[in-house]
Structure 1
Amino acid sequence: MRDHEPVHDHEGRRLTTKEAAELLGVKPETVYAYVSRGQLGSRRVPGGRGSTFDATEVEALARRNRRESGGSPASGGELSVRTRITLIESDRYYFRGVDATALAARHSYEEIAEWLWTGRMRPGMTFTAPETSAAVARRAVDSLPEHTSPTDRLRVAAIAAAAADPLRFDLSEDAVLGTARILIPTLVAALPRTRLNQPDEGPLARRLWTRLSARTPDEASLRALDTALGLLVDHDLAASTLAVRVAASARANAYASVSAGLGVLEGPLHGAASGLAHRLLQDVLELGDAGPVIANELRAGRRIPGLGHRLYRGEDPRARALFDLLERIPRAETALAAARDVVATTARHTPLHANVDLALAVLTASSGMLPTAGETIFAVARTAGWVAHALEEYGERPLRMRPSGLYVGAKPPQSLPLPLPLPLPEETAAEALPEV
């Protein structure tokens, strides 16, 4: 088969490299760059020399590139990865095609994690950590300074658990799922408890509560925490999830891939955002008015945490689902009122909806938790999503997550750089000083 001959099969028309390049408005080499970045799939025809491409997929990429470049031919576009895990569209999001907020309303975090990993619902699923794994992780975390951040504790716990698992390099699906079911409860078990003699049993949300609050939880509060975990389990290719897929593309094991996600999560624009919203709510609660608090944020040139989301034009569906539960908890009433005050006050400047960080802040502030608790909840929840993406990436071609750099430096060839003069010895340098 020649590279310019079109192909038809039972799935529909397939394009040659030349046809795909013409449709995309790029060179043939760029078409293969799209393949290496995971933006296009390709297939070799048995006995043929060229690759073929699904016409529908190429047309969709061409439309996306035209939108991103204002109608001009494609020049690379943003990285996109085919996935069956999460879809976000029309201000809603779905896990394997099922409304995520409906799943979180009816199923526990562990059940949602299993659905995300396997596409099967396992009612009553509970993750437990072997004492050997939990003990190793706990000892490592206990050795850290008291002021260590939650994400650092979880990262150290993951590394310690990995070091204790000689089978961590087995990347088969069953092995990775076994690792995930142990790793998540190990991360929770490694965190220090808020008070001694608290029970460490039951669903993961109950065990996590004992690490976040010294209060005895009621069932409504535990349900809110469990729902928050389920709502946050995945959100498509967020920055931390992309880091996980890059690590998995290089065939890093599940522990290492999760560690990559934890490293990115710590940024204030990602997992730590709920802590900023928590502190904002605390300030509003102390003053009894959002006005001066918002004014101080704007005066300092800071965006108001907990408001707006780049993927939702309207309300963040995760926030609405969590607010609905918090409205049934009497002790959350004051924090909810403060959150409404923040939204209403900011609307006079910029009309923005509450996002899940503000809802999470209401949960943590009304439950006697530290501002960093939201970051812990986010990290534990998202670990399940990271594992789902790692599993998906293990099924792809290795090292495909390798975008090409757009070089904008000095045009070669340049002259070899001149060596810098060696620093003078201290005495000689003193002698060289001019007299004043």
Structure 2
Amino acid sequence: MTAQPAAAASADGGRISTREAARRLGVKPETVYAYVSRGLLGSRRAAGGRGSTFDPGEVAALARRGRPAPAAPGTPAGPATGDGSDTAGGGWSRIRTGITLIEGDRYYFRGVDATALAATYSYEEVAEWLWTGELRRGFRLTAPEQPLAAARRAAGSLPAGSGPMDRIRVALIAAAVADPLRFDLSRDAVLGTARNLIPVLVDALPRIGPPQPDSARLSRRLWSGLTGRRPDEPSLRALDTALALLIDHDLAASTMAVRVAASARAHPYAVVSAGLGALEGPLHGQASALAHRLLTEVLERGGAGPVVAEYLRAGRHLPGLGHLLYRGEDPRARLLFARLAEVPAAADALAAARDVADTAAGHRPLHANVDLALAVLSVSSGMPAEAGETVFSVARTAGWIAHALEEYAEPAMRMRPSGSYDGPRPPRPLP
């Protein structure tokens, strides 16, 4: 596109040219177009079809906020937490969302304190609140027969020793193939997909615990897919609370992947698959597994001191501690620890977690995060190390769908930043 001359800035109803917008922002014209592709600025074709024009007020507002810039090379990463990438930094712009607000060491779902919701209502009820802004008491998620059968066959075909996350990923693909209406992106259709998909992912896990009826609360059915131990009510309440707490947490790395996929109009199953892909890394979904192994080692050795010392000596980050968005204790960890304090079988793991936090506090002012609380739940319940990531994935699927619904209502393909090329300049000879 050709930039309109600055002299013609007022020829289109007071709007300004690309060149003038670039001058006011202190960037190159190419960067202005990058801001448009990222949803930071709106543009309109200039009269006569040459170049674009911009609202001077919108340009001024962007200039006041400070133009976005990519993270500086070599910027150190933050602590490895399940939501460790939940910052809006880097090269991404701020994205308007009405789902989650994180502010003052607290977080809110649609303006309501998220920990209060999780303490009062079930996971299914909180998910429905996140999707619709309405609370339906007693709401349950049940899996339809056909996609569940397909998901179970696919998950059951995996090699022996496959973990729950392997089965969930395969079940997701099978459920998508079994749904011929998956390409319908209308709001009602996407909500129907969400209400069907989450129970399919849970019920596709082979039952290693006491069988549960399909009408049982989702957390009870998930428990039987993660451990062979018979649950008591405090344990089930802790698991259900964990699910409700983890439904969403603003723009985590996986949620950004979801919104990019939704921006390209991928169907909801593909959107969730994008989220699961981003979740796979050790700095996001697998952080709870690292905390699980840390707690196991502390319990085996009878104290956190020698274990923490070895981590620090090896230059390794202590999992389950610190969070980029909270100065104090992660509010999710606070509530989940309170729930776990009601579980008799969790006493030893809970004491080990507190020992880790207290020992580390003498070295750095770090607080427990939700991954450490998830590790207490998995260790004390006889679940595998991967259980925390499984709980996280099931819970966050509800949040991913909520973000997809928001993104489907935005202009398509707006999540398209421009690269800052730093390779050899053309023209170069043919190799």
Specify which of 295, 307, 329 is matched with residue 315 of structure 1.
Answer: 329
Name the CA shift for 1:19/1:87 in 2 (closer, same or farther; >3 Å).
farther
Q: Distance in 2 between matches of 1:87 and 1:257?
A: 22
**One-letter amino acid of the counterpart of residue 37, structure 1:** R
* 2:305–2:359 contact (8 Å) kept in structure 1: yes
**One-letter amino acid of the counterpart of residue 36, structure 1:** S
Specify which of 283, 293, 296 is matched with residue 297 of structure 2.
Answer: 283
Name the CA shift for 1:416/1:119 in 2 (closer, same or farther; >3 Å).
same
**One-letter amino acid of the counterpart of residue 367, structure 2:** H
Aligned to 1:5: 10
Q: Distance in 2 between matches of 1:261 and 1:58?
A: 35
Name the CA shift for 1:257/1:414 in 2 (closer, same or farther; >3 Å).
same
User: Match of 2:385, SS?
Assistant: coil
Q: Distance in 2 between matches of 1:179 and 1:357?
A: 29
Q: Distance in 2 between matches of 1:359 and 1:6?
A: 60
Specify which of 56, 63, 67 is matched with residue 65 of structure 2.
Answer: 63
Q: Does 1:328 align with 2:328?
A: no
User: Match of 2:249, SS?
Assistant: coil
- Within a 5 Å distance, the mapping from 1:217-232 to structure 2 comes to 217-232=231-246
Name the CA shift for 1:53/1:362 in 2 (closer, same or farther; >3 Å).
farther
Aligned to 1:397: 411
- Within a 5 Å distance, the mapping from 1:85-96 to structure 2 comes to 85-96=99-110
Aligned to 1:426: none
- Within a 5 Å distance, the mapping from 1:1-400 to structure 2 comes to 4-5=9-10, 20-41=21-42, 51-53=53-55, 55=57, 58-59=60-61, 62-65=64-67, 77-195=91-209, 197-400=211-414
Q: Distance in 2 between matches of 1:251 and 1:369?
A: 37
Q: Distance in 2 between matches of 1:305 and 1:150?
A: 21
Q: Distance in 2 between matches of 1:251 and 1:95?
A: 25
* 2:209–2:230 contact (8 Å) kept in structure 1: no
**One-letter amino acid of the counterpart of residue 117, structure 2:** L
Deviates more, 1:248-257 or 1:46-55: 46-55
Name the CA shift for 1:138/1:6 in 2 (closer, same or farther; >3 Å).
farther
Q: Deviations over 1:129-168 (max 9, x none)?
A: 0122111100100001123233221111110001001010
Normalising by the residue count of structure 1, what TM-score does the alignment of the two structures yield? 0.86
Deviates more, 1:127-136 or 1:174-183: 127-136
Name the CA shift for 1:332/1:153 in 2 (closer, same or farther; >3 Å).
same
User: Match of 2:101, SS?
Assistant: strand
List runs of 5+ in structure 2 lacking aligned partners: 1-6, 73-89
Q: Distance in 2 between matches of 1:354 and 1:78?
A: 28
User: Match of 1:301, SS?
Assistant: coil
* 2:226–2:383 contact (8 Å) kept in structure 1: yes
Determine what percentage of the aligned residue pairs are the same residue.
67
- Note the aligned Cα RMSD (angstroms): 2.7
Q: Distance in 2 between matches of 1:26 and 1:56?
A: 15
* 2:44–2:53 contact (8 Å) kept in structure 1: yes
Q: Distance in 1 between matches of 2:321 and 2:299?
A: 18
* 2:115–2:245 contact (8 Å) kept in structure 1: yes
Q: Distance in 2 between matches of 1:183 and 1:347?
A: 41
Name the CA shift for 1:3/1:323 in 2 (closer, same or farther; >3 Å).
farther
**One-letter amino acid of the counterpart of residue 281, structure 2:** G
User: Match of 1:170, SS?
Assistant: coil
Kindly indicate whether structure 1 or structure 2 has the higher relative contact order, using CA contacts under 8 Å at least 6 residues apart: 2
Q: Distance in 2 between matches of 1:283 and 1:96?
A: 40
User: Match of 1:215, SS?
Assistant: coil
Aligned to 2:77: none
**One-letter amino acid of the counterpart of residue 125, structure 1:** F
Shift of 1:97: 1.6
Q: Distance in 2 between matches of 1:117 and 1:157?
A: 23
Return the index of the structure with the highest Cα Rg. 1
Aligned to 1:433: none
Aligned to 1:432: none
Q: Distance in 1 between matches of 2:102 and 2:11?
A: 34
Name the CA shift for 1:197/1:384 in 2 (closer, same or farther; >3 Å).
closer
Aligned to 2:75: none
Name the CA shift for 1:29/1:212 in 2 (closer, same or farther; >3 Å).
same
User: Match of 1:315, SS?
Assistant: coil
Normalising by the residue count of structure 2, what TM-score does the alignment of the two structures yield? 0.87
Q: Distance in 1 between matches of 2:283 and 2:63?
A: 28
Count of aligned residue pairs for this structure pair: 408
**One-letter amino acid of the counterpart of residue 225, structure 2:** R
User: Match of 2:102, SS?
Assistant: strand
